[in-house]
């Protein structure tokens, strides 16, 4: 979030100045984070019973629970089926209906986006910019809409816990439209400087705009009840027992994710690791080698060069798609950690002569393949990029256009691209726990049960790579997750079962300070400003398997 807003927006209310959390995680006024109030993966039940376990009322109508609603795939909204003439759907009609009810465009857009995320499994970071442009919102109004949209989605756990405590009805029985309006209002009350009466009134108007006029009294009562208790008191009252569960609640993470992080970082560092997921990340640009340097890109765009990657430029504000170097394919958006991984693939020394046969085994969406391709062009090498999805493969082809990269639609476990590669990148499909800061709703959509299936796939892909690489060649294994089940466990299995030799990956990146105690590299947002990327470097032994 961007800190303290003090002037008024078109809504007539104070634009939100986030309430910074103190040492105990309680909201206090002045600058800071939106996300330091969670509920664990299991905290709807706390709101009804004051307990901290994954109860049957975990987080109201949150993303995870919507999997059982039975409309769109397994996350639809049951209430939409019988909506009749009610305007329960998302889209321009809902925005206009909210404005017609006397609402301001910023809140109308926020409501629409939250509804899309709930109803359609949309990604807020993709939907919101388009909605802002369509309504021609900019400046403080755009910032207001962004803050309450992302903030609401990040803090669903505590919002649902508070709403449930104040509701006479189980959250499952409340209309999805009403729940989403209540979430927006509760977020404004707990985490912004919007006057409570304004947050209540405008949220009730959203209920009516969504076609639930009969529920406006119900919504009004809940929100007014919420305003009678100070925000920090709500957190104290509803926080579950247990140190990690309590931290998870305050920092807007499911408990299982906080427990996952706790296995990797020291206890005193865990609050910072969780808090970083609710901070607004800067956009990282990559200057394509051979096209433009990072220094030139920084000068042209008026931004700063990155700290670690020689190709990185930090962009604090603005639309990167409007930059001329990006439009011309000379630069792109790519996290600095991802840049370091792609660079390492190309720089780790191989035994014998590098014949220039490089492979990206899991190439979608194409960022690493493009950087590898740019470096391959300089080294007179060639990259084969494998992607199982035909649609994503087409996107990769656009991304790597003009580079020595051939895209193959195939399963990386049996890609049918030959063998004898000098260098292979396995950027394996993963839980994405390392990039939670970029998608506010993502933490509530993930399930710990998914990791077991993912880890099986990850090991199979790494096994495939070690068969495809030539003796003496190198394989870089990476994930955008710090979960040990997706990182060290997979690498250790490859060493123990497949005879791979693990090299010290720290030798192939710039000095970044603390990147873990193993030979692998674990980056973190709170330490390095990158996504929580993991990287290990393996070398295949000679023909005799040494």
Query: Catalytic residue positions?
Result: 480
The secondary structure of 490-514, three-state, reads HHHHHHHHHCCEEECHHHHCCCCCC
Q: Which two tokens stand for residue 1?
A: 């979030």
- Strands 421-427 and 469-479 turn out to be parallel
| Residue of 15, 128, 87 lying closest to 440 (CA atoms) | 128
Q: How many CB atoms lie within 10 A of CB 545?
A: 9
The secondary structure of 259-323, three-state, reads HHHHCCCCHHHHHHHHHHCCCCCCEEEEECCCCCCHHHHHHHHCCEECCCCCCEEEECCCCHHHC
- 154's enclosing H/E stretch is helix 139-154
| Residue of 200, 122, 97, 183 lying closest to 148 (CA atoms) | 183
SS3 for 538? Answer: strand
Buried b (16+ CB within 10 A) or exposed e, 294-326: beebbebbebebbebbebbbbbeeeebeebebb
Residue pair 112/101 in contact (Cβ under 8 Å)? The answer is no
């Amino acid at each position: 979030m961007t800190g303290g807003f003090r002037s008024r927006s078109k809504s007539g209310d104070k634009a939100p100045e986030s309430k910074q959390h103190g040492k105990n995680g309680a909201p206090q006024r002045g600058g800071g984070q939106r996300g330091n109030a969670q509920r664990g993966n299991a905290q709807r039940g706390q709101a009804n019973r004051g307990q901290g376990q994954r109860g049957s009322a975990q987080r109201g109508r949150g993303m995870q629970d919507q999997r059982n609603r039975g409309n769109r795939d397994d996350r639809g909204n049951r209430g939409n089926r019988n909506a009749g003439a009610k305007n329960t759907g998302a889209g321009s009609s809902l925005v206009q209906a909210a404005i017609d009810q006397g609402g301001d465009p910023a809140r109308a857009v926020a409501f629409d986006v939250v509804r899309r995320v709930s109803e359609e499994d949309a990604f807020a970071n993709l939907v919101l910019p388009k909605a802002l442009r369509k309504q021609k919102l900019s400046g403080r109004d755009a910032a207001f809409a962004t803050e309450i949209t992302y903030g609401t989605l990040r803090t669903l756990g505590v919002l649902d816990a508070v709403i449930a405590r104040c509701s006479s009805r189980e959250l499952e029985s409340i209309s999805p439209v009403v729940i989403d309006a209540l979430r927006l209002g509760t977020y404004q009350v707990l985490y912004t400087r919007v006057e409570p009466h304004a947050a209540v009134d405008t949220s009730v108007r959203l209920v009516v705009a969504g076609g639930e006029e009969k529920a406006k009294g119900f919504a009004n009562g809940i929100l007014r009840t919420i305003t009678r208790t100070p925000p920090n008191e709500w957190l104290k009252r509803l926080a579950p027992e247990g140190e990690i569960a309590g931290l998870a609640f305050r920092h807007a993470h499911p408990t299982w994710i906080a427990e996952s992080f706790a296995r990797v970082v020291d206890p005193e560092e865990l609050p910072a690791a969780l808090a970083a997921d609710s901070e607004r990340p800067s956009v990282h640009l990559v200057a394509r080698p051979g096209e433009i340097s990072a220094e030139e890109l920084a000068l042209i765009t008026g931004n700063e060069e990155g700290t670690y990657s020689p190709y990185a430029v930090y962009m604090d504000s603005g639309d990167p798609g409007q930059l001329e170097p990006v439009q011309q394919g000379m630069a792109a958006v790519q996290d600095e950690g991802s840049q370091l991984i792609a660079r390492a693939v190309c720089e780790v020394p191989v035994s014998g002569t590098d014949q220039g046969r490089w492979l990206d085994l899991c190439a979608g969406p194409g960022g690493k393949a493009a950087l590898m391709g740019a470096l391959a062009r300089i080294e007179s090498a060639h990259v084969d990029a494998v992607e199982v999805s035909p649609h994503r493969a087409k996107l990769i082809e656009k991304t790597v256009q003009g580079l020595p990269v051939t895209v193959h639609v195939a399963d990386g476990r049996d890609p049918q691209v030959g063998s004898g590669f000098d260098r292979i990148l396995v950027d394996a499909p993963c839980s994405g726990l390392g990039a939670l800061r970029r998608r506010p709703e993502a933490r509530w959509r993930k399930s710990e049960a998914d990791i077991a299936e993912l880890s099986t796939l990850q090991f199979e892909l790494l096994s495939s790579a070690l068969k495809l690489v030539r003796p003496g060649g190198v394989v870089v294994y990476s994930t955008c997750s710090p979960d040990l089940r997706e990182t060290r466990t997979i690498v250790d299995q490859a060493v123990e079962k497949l005879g791979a030799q693990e090299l010290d990956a720290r030798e192939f990146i710039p000095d970044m300070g603390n990147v873990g105690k193993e030979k692998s590299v674990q980056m973190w947002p709170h330490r390095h400003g990158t996504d929580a990327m993991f990287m290990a470097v393996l070398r295949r032994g000679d023909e005799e398997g040494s």
